Chains A and B, each alone.
Chain A
């Protein structure tokens, strides 16, 4: 089973050029871990870049550039060997039994708290994240419903386990959903009998639409 809902090319492109804020970046890389098709897209970007580099007309380097380059390779490497895979962060006990993709294995996942019966959230600490933005794991017990809400700024959800349905269709592991101000009254409904776990990245807090939502908001910090 592979993902059927993907980030748009515009978002992938901004990911590729390093222009996404940390929460959005994490959600795109989580999707990439689970989606060979989008990894292919990045490979196409890389191949385009390589082809363009190859056909670029160069700008002359300064006169001593080659001498400098040849001198630099003789110097011992004084940097500590950086390992490619970051050490996996200590994994909170409440995540036992969930299969997390590599992107989340090194993420700093904080303690969870329940925002409603059967619904918990666990914030993810990301260096450099703007204050209005929130990134967290959310788990919704099978059969529960999310409060109706609208969005201020983009909200991205990447499904990690279980499934839900909204006005755009069915979402399962790996599926990437993006909502913004235009998506009025977004109301996802959890499906099936498996608990839902998803990664949520919000550019700004979401706005609940019902009085129950307003009551939940201060507790949920969503």
Chain B
């Protein structure tokens, strides 16, 4: 079994901490192995698992198959190069990988200024520092994942269109033929619920 092999290798050759043995094969463990020993097998596993998903994700947002494939390659290469910056005790690997892919997509869109129907929608970037800072811990990531499933379908639809198709709220309103105000309130409801679940406490209503 893969798990056993990792254990054997880990105890004999590679310096794997007891922690990472327990969760071998989680993306967190794979990235930690990459950071620690430049583990190429771990990279291959991570690549196989995430490159096709990143490709699918950005294709949904309007990239061609080739562009999406290049972006997926670039994203995983970034994971390899930045692995030492990843702290498995603090951050969820999936959200970290997602952030890297998202930044690349925004950069690519700004560079190409390849706009569909909104000529002034996207801009040449100076890099959004905020983007890389959104570290989400593993526990919060789990909570959000669980909560997403529990959202009412109409709220889920808004999130799906937002993330998978990269639409603004007015575009979502047009797509679903519902008033913009409805889109806004559904997103707000979903966000409030998710934020509350993540905080473990309720927060004030926004003005």
Binding site for B on A (CB under 8 A): 4-6, 8-10, 13-15, 17-22, 25, 29, 32, 37, 39-62, 65-66, 68-70, 72-73, 77, 84-86, 102-103, 127-128, 130, 168-169
Contacts and interface: CB of A to CB of B under 8 A. Distances in A.
Interface in B54-108: 54-57, 59, 65, 68-69, 72-73, 76-77, 80-81, 92, 94-99, 101-102, 105-106
Interface string B36-69: 0000100110011011111111010000010011
Interface centre among B128, B134, B159 (most CB of A within 10 A): B134
A211 B129 CA distance: 43
Interface of B: 40, 43-44, 47-48, 50-57, 59, 65, 68-69, 72-73, 76-77, 80-81, 92, 94-99, 101-102, 105-106, 109-110, 120-130, 132-136, 140-141, 144-145, 148, 159-160, 162-164, 166, 168-169, 184, 187-188, 191, 194-195, 198-199, 203-204, 206-207
A50 B125 CA distance: 23
A61 B55 contact: yes
Nearest to A19: B121
A10 B73 contact: no
B206 A17 contact: no
A56 B40 contact: no
A53 B101 CA distance: 10
Shortest 4 CB-CB contacts between residues of A and residues of B: A58-B52, A18-B106, A50-B95, A47-B144
Main secondary structure of the interface of B (DSSP, over half): helix
A48 B194 contact: yes
A25 B198 contact: no
A69 B81 CA distance: 12
A156 to B, nearest CB: 14
Contacts of B77: 69, 72-73
Given A47-B144, A62-B69, A10 B194 contact: no
Contacts of A46: 95, 98-99, 102, 134, 136
Nearest to A40: B195
Contact of A18 (B94, B96, B120, B128): B128
Contacts of B126: 22, 86, 127
Interface centre among A22, A29, A43, A128 (most CB of B within 10 A): A43
Nearest to B193: A44
Contacts of A77: 81
B94 A40 contact: no
B52 A66 contact: no
A42 B72 CA distance: 23
Nearest to A18: B106
Contacts of A50: 92, 94-99, 136, 141, 144-145
A40 B136 CA distance: 9
Interface centre among A13, A57, A66, A85 (most CB of B within 10 A): A13
Contacts of A17: 106, 162, 166, 168
Contact of B47 (A10, A53, A66): A66
Interface centre among A32, A52, A128 (most CB of B within 10 A): A52
Interface centre among B68, B191, B198 (most CB of A within 10 A): B191
19 contacts: A9-B169, A13-B187, A19-B168, A29-B129, A42-B130, A45-B134, A46-B98, A48-B194, A49-B163, A51-B141, A53-B94, A57-B56, A58-B51, A59-B52, A65-B73, A69-B76, A70-B44, A127-B124, A128-B123
A179 to B, nearest CB: 13
